[in-house]
Amino acid sequence: MPDSKNDAHVEKTDAEWKSELTPEQFRITRKAGTEAPFTHQYNENKRNGTYACVCCGQSLFPSRTKYNSGTGWPSFYAPENKESVTEHEDNSLFSTRTEICCSKCAAHLGHVFPDGPDPTGLRYCINGEALSFEAEGQDGNDDNDTA
């Protein structure tokens, strides 16, 4: 995973991103794609830890804010901090939604909706392919741990 300790904005060419990401990660994060619902392992992940951007490693969502929205995508009621994500108006698919991107590398993560639980009332509906997961108490990236 890229170094998340460097606070500088990350900019790379499509060729560079393609060499570092899987085709599905590239399609979703760099081309604003969406994975099919109920297909990613993080939708069911209940471990304690931190979800980070698969492109740059920036911490995005703590597991304590994850909940089962029933939508088929990993959902959170709040990001790690307000500075870790940016919001953009998205007028695709014949509606207006709020797109969520990583503030460090501009990776498309998903969308935020005003139908989430307390305490924020928000639902950050995030593509699992845009995330990596580090379980609490582990030194390395734990992409395959879904216990």
Ordered by start, the domain boundaries in the chain are 36-135
Catalytic residue among 53, 55, 102, 125: 125
pLDDT higher than threshold 90 for residue 3: no
Q: What is the pTM of this model?
A: 0.86
What pLDDT, on a 0 to 100 scale, did the predictor assign at position 138? 61
Quick check: 92 and 102 in contact, CB under 8 A? no
What pLDDT, on a 0 to 100 scale, did the predictor assign at position 7? 64
Q: Is 55 a catalytic residue?
A: no
Cβ within 8 Å of residue 82, ≥6 positions away: none
Task: Name the helix (H) or strand (E) containing 17.
Answer: helix 14-20
Quick check: 69 and 75 in contact, CB under 8 A? yes
pLDDT tens for 46-66 read 999 999 999 999 999 999 999
Instruction: Write the CATH number of the domain with boundaries 36-135.
Output: 2.170.150.20
Q: How many CB atoms lie within 10 A of CB 82?
A: 10
